[in-house]
Structure 1
Amino acid sequence: MRIAIVGLGPKGLYGLERLLANLAEAEYPFPTEIHLFNKSDSFGAGEIYNPAQPSYLKMNYVNGYINMWPEQKPKPNVPHPKSFVEWLNERKDEFPNDSEYTFSSRATVGRYLSEGFNELLENCPEHISIFKHVGDVIGIEQNEDGYSVDCKVSDDNVPLRVNAIQNLLIATGHPCINDADLVAQDTHIDFIYPVDLRLKGISSGSKVAIKGMGLTFIDAVLALTEGRGGKFVADETGDLIYTKSGMEPEVLYPFSKSGMLMIPRGNTYGKSSLAPFYFNKESVEYSETLEGKYDFEHQLLPLIEQDFTVVYYSKLFSSKGLKLEVLKDYAEVEFQIENFHEQNPDLPRFDFYSFLEGTISDGELNKSTLEFIRMSIQEAERGVEESAFAAAADAWRHLSDLFNELYSFGGLKPQSQKTFLEKYAGHLNRISYGPPIENMKKIEAIAKAGLIDFSFSQNPEISYSSKTILSNNKEEKVSVDFLVDARVPKIQLHRCAGPLYSTLLEQNLIIPYVNRLEGRLDFRPGCLAINEKGNPLDETGWANETITFTGTPTEGLTYDNDSLSRQRNDFVSDWAKDLTKKILQEEPETQLRSNSI
């Protein structure tokens, strides 16, 4: 059996680990080849966690949650699988301040993943041969021998071809870019990673617009400042002061549709949280569906809003020595809240939609954004156990598990899915999965040093000529030398499939997923059609079990593909188990045929 895994970031690594664990326990050790394809030599870590990247690029995921080894059976085929914290503890001389409660650099996590990958190779059973191929997979062709995988290993026009692949796990990242029309312009950077390479052409003293204000925006800012020799010094209060190196751009102009920055977060590992009370399986079961599909705004969002409100006021009540009684009848909870505000008229009311969308004064965008940064840092430092704001920001993390179950594989009505993705998903991501406090303090310090101007941050008008020009609602304009796209591209097969997915589409090995409901408008989220095991479907609904997708390509049929999570949207465990069974069934038949010849 010859198997290929395309993409060896964490998702591909997890697939390899499960496959080796299952094959190691197989009753008969049949010869198996596994071909691994990765864009770079960063096998196991991928580009996002490449160990060679700068150390100032931080995780937004606390160390205690990171573990590349699963707890389920079969056990990993290595002698001593270690969690990330155990791995760090063995290197205390190198990482003296790191613990389960801190945030490490992505490079450090990449080292952990890469060493885990190497450990898998070192303990690989003798009957399994593993081949590594570095380069872009640009095509997969189906033929009578199975599949041929074409990999561009250099600038030569002739790719490496590996033939007779019988089974494929495809764990690629994002296949396309955001604005294909702008790629040819030298002053447009369509993707920032790796930052040392992609941003080096931005000259010092230039004006730079940055599209997107999420985690990638923070990485871009740090690469153009700290990455160019700028220094941070903590003052007596713990806040940071930035000292310029002189190699930075003159000013950075970030912008997005909402103009809102992410909410920073402190340690949440081991912290108690209020279990979902209203948005739970029991409550959802009372909702009538149409062919098994929910309406997000009318059926799910009201329950989510109630849980957010309860989390916020539970902390606020506690700060006044009171206890909010969480009761099934939400009207009784509202009655308690009304009484609370009558007794505390100076405290602002919690409004779920204002919290979700954020409130920045469009009159003084730069000033109000800096005020938001300061407030959000202070609340994050108070933490989820004391701050009502921080606790509410953390709530979606605990609600999203159930939402993922309801959302996955067309669980929302077509136009309701469209509404969720366009109107709510970005805001929920912004409030819940923000950067560590340290990184937001750095953004604040860089802005105070005059290197970031938020005056055009809220959905500016953009015009392109010899330069990019931003205009805000005060009729102010700024001409910039470079435009950096700091958004993570989403899979959009109908718009920009990329070389690999284009060939898969041409051969009808995949088709775009369409969310359909009789009598309603269809919706195409951009992903491919797969079943619940990750196998691609054709127009008739037939599943091709020789190909499995995991991670980014499944977004749209799944929600929140956390690249490090082993539990969320785990397609690889079943893939490895089913493939091992198939090998055991087919190989004896092959052996019998060869013996009879």
Structure 2
Amino acid sequence: MSLHGRTMTYASLQVSTLSWRLHRLLIWRYPQIPDTHRMAAQRRKMTERHIVFIGGGPRTAIILERISANRALLNNTALHLHIVDPFPAGAGRIWREDQSPLLKLNSRAADVTMFTDDSVQCLGPANNGPALDQWVQLIREGQLPDVPPLVLADPLLQAEVATLGAGDFPTRRLQSCYLRWFFARVQASFTAPDSIKVHQDSAVDLIPGSGPHKVLLASGEELVADQVVLAQGHLDAKMSSDARASEFSARADSADHLGYIPPGYTNDINFEELLPGTEVLVSGMGLAFTDLFVLLFEGRGGRFEPTGSGELRYIPSGREPRLLAGSRRGVPYHSKIRSSTTAELTARYFTEEAVAELHARHGNLDFFAHIWPLVAKETGYFYYRELFATRPDQLRGRWADFLAAYDRIDWYFPERASLVAAFVAPNDRLEFEDLESPLPLPRPLPAQGHGEQLNKLVSEHIQEDLRLRDSPDRPEYQALFLGLLRCFVTLPLVHDKFSQAGRAQLAKWWQGFFSFVDSGPPAHRLRELLALHESGFVRFLGPETTFGFDTEHQLFSAQTLAGAVHAPWLIEARLPSTNISTSTDPLLASLSRQGLITEEPGGSGKMHITSLRQAIGRGGRVQRWLFATGAAVGRFQAGAFSRPQSNSAPFADSDALARELLAAPASMEQWELAGTVVQAHHSIA
């Protein structure tokens, strides 16, 4: 093997590999150490490559780290990276420091990392580093040389660092510090002749060229770009694109006694006009609803005290509104799970090979007909395996016998129900339809007291959910969680084999179901919700609730299974729909007008991209220099950061994108240039 004109023996290669690993370790612990490999490159004649990232949140930070790790792919080229975001780089809008200290992650500190560790199956080298809980421990022990200044200066953050455990749920402000620290480490890993510059600004337009392109910023600055990466994250939507929000906003604006808050990011909403004692209809009971009641009750000075029974009691401040909450399911997201399992997450049924076999037989696959039965069977396997391992005395028969029969049948075969019934007691059986629609309602509802019955049913459901999930003695629910998570990681790998209808089903149903079951709030938040309910500040409207405006009463209305409920205020506790054509982002609007980006087929409203994350423009033309990733982009994707040592999909995906950025040609080929000229002629005509 030749390296710089010298021949390397096997022994010297081992030393070199060891030195490289030590070098990478020193880089993350002491990023000010110069990278001699790159300094040597300065002495050679180089070209330049400019890559502009639109959006500087966690996803961009991981891609940048992967570019640093794979830097050797781009030889004799000075790499100039530009990050454009009006919010702090590394954290972005959602995870910025400037938010309420009451708001927390819905992940435990031990389950959050920004480092592509050696469990990740990707082509680039691993870069091990501390997960959030380990990072906090390093600060406590005085082992972190570059503690963020805010952590040192803020008494609330200091107190959190002093007490946070691996199983605790950190505040978003502490997470913001971790994310910005990670970004600073990545930024320091790029040394001359490379550079990385942050522009705390917004991109408003892009002018494509035959060579370098120009990115125009709101400040008037122009950035030269050989490649552009769109990573804006969640988008705001134009009010005019949502007929319901437009109507309700107009109603609220027309009368002093009415108030309406459209879909948005809870932390960005000003609730000052919502007066104490006001009755408020709330549409949605997901994570945005959790943030809402935290800010409207504890955020207004109320507090929770433990009772002798282990529950919570709410002590009001006198500034509370009264919330009337309903949704399609009628219940909040399932609680995070306290139990643990040591079972391996080895796929058995939902594998790339199984999907390829289905694709060979059926062609492009439908999600519900072909994929979901495999996901259900895979997750059921994890659930029942744990049940047999931990509670065999409550089952009829042996796991080996159950598994031998389970292997032979599909999830939706009648034989599966018979098999489970033969081995498992009714209360321990897993049915996903019961998870999706958890309230068993009598039909028709009783004539008297049915509103209170719905209210009570939801409260009892939350209590039962906490009994099962906030217990160390029910590890089958942790296995359920991990099984769905394992399938979540596999889905992006087989997305190419879905039909358009299958992709739409995946985008519209799966993400919501997964979040409902696997991405709910910490258990203590649900205990707080029950305390608010017991105090009379929150009332549950039940499932199948729809919202409107009653012109006769001149009030907002909720149509429930128990009849109509009215209130002067309505809050939409949900995020705006991510849609390219309805986004308020001026850059995406310009790119769409120019035909550089289009929406993917199937009606999801998300950006159409190739498997290499390159934008597909008008006429199916691939923009080889324009890449896109994140919530606004098609092709099912996972989040920005994830659990350590779990082969997490975001890291492998980011590694692949980083390698493509480094390896892809920076300039347009002749056929692409010709297409641009033809498009310009058509637009003139």
**TM-score of the two chains, using structure 2 as the length reference:** 0.73
Residues 94-133 of structure 1 mapped to structure 2, 5 A cutoff: 94=159, 95-133=161-199
Aligned equivalent of 2:7: none
Residues 189-588 of structure 1 mapped to structure 2, 5 A cutoff: 189-193=261-265, 195=267, 197-249=269-321, 251-267=322-338, 271-272=342-343, 275-289=346-360, 292-317=363-388, 318-321=390-393, 322=395, 323-324=398-399, 325-327=402-404, 328-330=407-409, 336-340=419-423, 347=427, 349-361=429-441, 363=450, 364-383=453-472, 386-389=474-477, 391-406=479-494, 408-409=495-496, 411-455=497-541, 458-463=544-549, 467-481=555-569, 483-496=570-583, 498-514=585-601, 523-554=602-633, 556-564=634-642, 567-569=648-650, 570-581=652-663
Amino acid at match of 2:420: I
Report SS of the residue matched to 2:624: coil
Report SS of the residue matched to 2:330: coil
Report SS of the residue matched to 1:198: coil
- Distance across 1 between alignment mates of 2:510 and 2:81: 41
Q: Is the 8 A contact 2:625 2:667 kept in 1?
A: no
Amino acid at match of 1:509: L
- Distance across 2 between alignment mates of 1:144 and 1:50: 37
**CA deviation after TM superposition for structure 1 residue 293, in Å:** 1.4
Q: Is the 8 A contact 1:101 1:269 kept in 2?
A: no
Amino acid at match of 1:492: N
**CA deviation after TM superposition for structure 1 residue 429, in Å:** 2.3
Alignment gaps of 5+ in structure 1: 153-158, 515-522, 587-597
Deviation per CA, 1:491-524, whole angstroms, max 9, x where unpaired?
A: 222444642211110011101111xxxxxxxx22
Aligned CA distance change for structure 1 residues 141 and 199 (closer, same or farther; 3 Å) = farther
Q: Is the 8 A contact 1:62 1:268 kept in 2?
A: no
- Distance across 1 between alignment mates of 2:171 and 2:593: 40
Q: Is the 8 A contact 1:262 1:434 kept in 2?
A: yes
Q: Say whether residues 1:175 and 2:235 are aligned partners.
A: yes
Amino acid at match of 2:437: E
Q: Is the 8 A contact 1:6 1:169 kept in 2?
A: yes
- Distance across 1 between alignment mates of 2:541 and 2:266: 28
- Distance across 2 between alignment mates of 1:545 and 1:334: 50
Aligned CA distance change for structure 1 residues 195 and 313 (closer, same or farther; 3 Å) = same
- Distance across 2 between alignment mates of 1:460 and 1:334: 34
Deviation per CA, 1:11-65, whole angstroms, max 9, x where unpaired?
A: 011122223444488654x54432211132x210112222232232221222223
More displaced stretch, 327-336 vs 82-91: 327-336
Identical positions, percent? 20
- Distance across 1 between alignment mates of 2:545 and 2:457: 15
Q: Is the 8 A contact 2:53 2:228 kept in 1?
A: yes
- Distance across 2 between alignment mates of 1:282 and 1:143: 42
**CA deviation after TM superposition for structure 1 residue 371, in Å:** 0.6
Q: Is the 8 A contact 1:178 1:190 kept in 2?
A: no
Q: Say whether residues 1:46 and 2:92 are aligned partners.
A: yes
Aligned CA distance change for structure 1 residues 290 and 231 (closer, same or farther; 3 Å) = same
Deviation per CA, 1:231-272, whole angstroms, max 9, x where unpaired?
A: 1112234322211111221x1122222223211112477743
Report SS of the residue matched to 2:538: coil
Report SS of the residue matched to 1:374: helix
- Distance across 1 between alignment mates of 2:171 and 2:628: 28
Aligned equivalent of 2:678: none
93, 99, 117: which one aligns with 1:71: 117
Alignment gaps of 5+ in structure 2: 1-48, 141-157, 254-258, 669-685
- Distance across 1 between alignment mates of 2:117 and 2:462: 39
Q: Is the 8 A contact 1:177 1:496 kept in 2?
A: yes
Between structure 1 and structure 2, the one with the greater Rg is 2
Q: Is the 8 A contact 1:510 1:537 kept in 2?
A: yes
Aligned equivalent of 1:519: none
Aligned CA distance change for structure 1 residues 61 and 202 (closer, same or farther; 3 Å) = same
Aligned equivalent of 1:156: none
Aligned CA distance change for structure 1 residues 372 and 391 (closer, same or farther; 3 Å) = farther
- Distance across 2 between alignment mates of 1:146 and 1:567: 34
Report SS of the residue matched to 2:208: strand
Aligned CA distance change for structure 1 residues 425 and 5 (closer, same or farther; 3 Å) = closer
Q: Is the 8 A contact 1:62 1:267 kept in 2?
A: no
Aligned length: 559
Aligned CA distance change for structure 1 residues 339 and 471 (closer, same or farther; 3 Å) = closer
**CA deviation after TM superposition for structure 1 residue 136, in Å:** 3.2
**CA deviation after TM superposition for structure 1 residue 352, in Å:** 2.8
Report SS of the residue matched to 2:513: helix
Q: Is the 8 A contact 1:25 1:74 kept in 2?
A: no
**CA deviation after TM superposition for structure 1 residue 430, in Å:** 0.6
Report SS of the residue matched to 1:427: helix
**CA deviation after TM superposition for structure 1 residue 292, in Å:** 4.0
Calculate the aligned-residue CA RMSD, in Å. Answer: 3.3
Q: Say whether residues 1:33 and 2:80 are aligned partners.
A: yes
- Distance across 1 between alignment mates of 2:227 and 2:666: 14
Q: Is the 8 A contact 1:533 1:571 kept in 2?
A: no
- Distance across 2 between alignment mates of 1:355 and 1:97: 35
Aligned equivalent of 2:208: 142
Deviation per CA, 1:56-85, whole angstroms, max 9, x where unpaired?
A: 2221222223221223686689xx943322
More displaced stretch, 558-567 vs 369-378: 558-567
Q: Say whether residues 1:57 and 2:137 are aligned partners.
A: no
Q: Is the 8 A contact 1:264 1:376 kept in 2?
A: yes
- Distance across 1 between alignment mates of 2:353 and 2:661: 36
Report SS of the residue matched to 2:403: coil
Aligned CA distance change for structure 1 residues 308 and 561 (closer, same or farther; 3 Å) = same
- Distance across 1 between alignment mates of 2:476 and 2:517: 13
- Distance across 1 between alignment mates of 2:129 and 2:623: 33
Report SS of the residue matched to 1:553: coil
Deviation per CA, 1:439-491, whole angstroms, max 9, x where unpaired?
A: 2222222222211111255322422655422232322321232x322222332
Report SS of the residue matched to 2:102: coil
**TM-score of the two chains, using structure 1 as the length reference:** 0.83
- Distance across 2 between alignment mates of 1:461 and 1:90: 49
More displaced stretch, 109-118 vs 193-202: 193-202
Report SS of the residue matched to 1:279: coil
